[in-house]
Chain A
Amino acid sequence: MSKKLLIVDDSKMSRIFIGQHVKAAHPDWVIQEAGSGEEAISLIENELPDFCTMDINMPGMLGTEAAKQILAVHPDIRLVIFSANVQESYQNEAHELGTILVAKPVTQASVALALDYFLGA
């Protein structure tokens, strides 16, 4: 069944690369993009994704804060923090949110980690 993925990242290049790797594995998935946490929260109010990748360092609110707000209202969304900021503090925060932190760069291997988490592997 087709799934919907929201990619939240201020880097257009990262959004494109994540989208390409996901499409290669799941061509039928619908992909939406947001360039900030605020935009993601606004998009989700109108259209609920099944999955979400969330960067941390973006203009405006931190991705971890956006993730916290999104998961508080929509706990069924499977969300992965996808960031270059791999400090233990952020990894712990991701675990406290019930999710995981996947380290950038965006590669086939790192996207596969996110997909495994989404699909419960």
Chain B
Amino acid sequence: METFSKRHFEKLAKIINRGTGRAVQGFHDVIGESQPYWLDKVLIDAKSLQLDAENYGVIEQEFTGRLNAKVLLLFTAENVQRILQKVLGDEMDAQGLNDVESEAMCELGNIMVNACLSAIADDLHILLESTVTHYQQYSNDGVVALIMQDSHAEHVLVTQVNLMISGVSLHGCKLLMLMNTDSNQEIMEKIELLAT
């Protein structure tokens, strides 16, 4: 299994950072406020993935084209509630939030994941087609199983981003890109082309 060299990884990290910046801009547009954010890590190793919360809201979307990848956007269950409250207003009660949770998180995920992947596609000069987003809550173990059972998951690129809502930090937001070896190779070749 070929892995990224340090040089490839640094270039990929720059592209991912740009994509994440666009995703965060989408997040700020949705919540209606601009807040500082910072990237903790960009890793390419599923074993390094730390899942500290008990439950996560997970938005899934698949991308096909010159590279095939499944992207997972993870928010802790606690942060899902914070986001819904912010987006939908304080008037909505817990039952109301539960009723629209899936729809609202799918739309937020659609905006953030597509913003990020659009930046990557543009930087690598490729076209990516995508499925509609799917949202579900998983336990900590459920997230791990979701990753391990996925056919794309030979390589897992993990971006950890710390977002804020009204000054409150939302720790634990993660963007995972699951790729097979062919897609991994495709990215390396594209990065090589960009360098020449």
Q: Interface residues, chain A, CB within 8 Å of chain B?
A: 10-14, 57-59, 62, 83-89, 104-105, 107, 110
Contact across chains for B106 and A107 when beta carbons are under 8 A apart:
no
Size of chain B's interface in residues, with CB distance under 8 A?
A: 23
Kindly provide the distance from the CB of A121 to the nearest chain B CB, expressed in whole angstroms: 22
If A84-B114, A89-B127 touch, whether A105 touches B106 (CB-CB below 8 Å) is no
If A57-B110, A104-B111 touch, whether A89 touches B121 (CB-CB below 8 Å) is yes
Contact across chains for B128 and A87 when beta carbons are under 8 A apart:
yes
**How many cross-chain pairs have Cβ atoms below 8 Å apart between A and B?**
52
Contact across chains for A84 and B111 when beta carbons are under 8 A apart:
yes
If A85-B130, A87-B127 touch, whether A11 touches B106 (CB-CB below 8 Å) is yes
Q: How far is the CA of A89 from the CA of B110 in the complex (A)?
A: 18
Kindly provide the distance from the CB of A103 to the nearest chain B CB, expressed in whole angstroms: 8
Contact string, B31-52, partner A, CB cutoff 8 A, digits 1/0? 0100000000000000000000
Q: Interface residues, chain B, CB within 8 Å of chain A?
A: 26, 29-30, 32, 100, 103-104, 106-107, 110-111, 114-115, 117-118, 121-122, 127-132
Contact across chains for A105 and B130 when beta carbons are under 8 A apart:
no
Question: Which 9 A/B pairs are nearest by Cβ-Cβ distance?
Answer: A84-B114, A89-B127, A87-B118, A84-B111, A86-B118, A105-B30, A84-B110, A87-B121, A105-B29
Kindly provide the distance from the CB of B28 to the nearest chain A CB, expressed in whole angstroms: 10
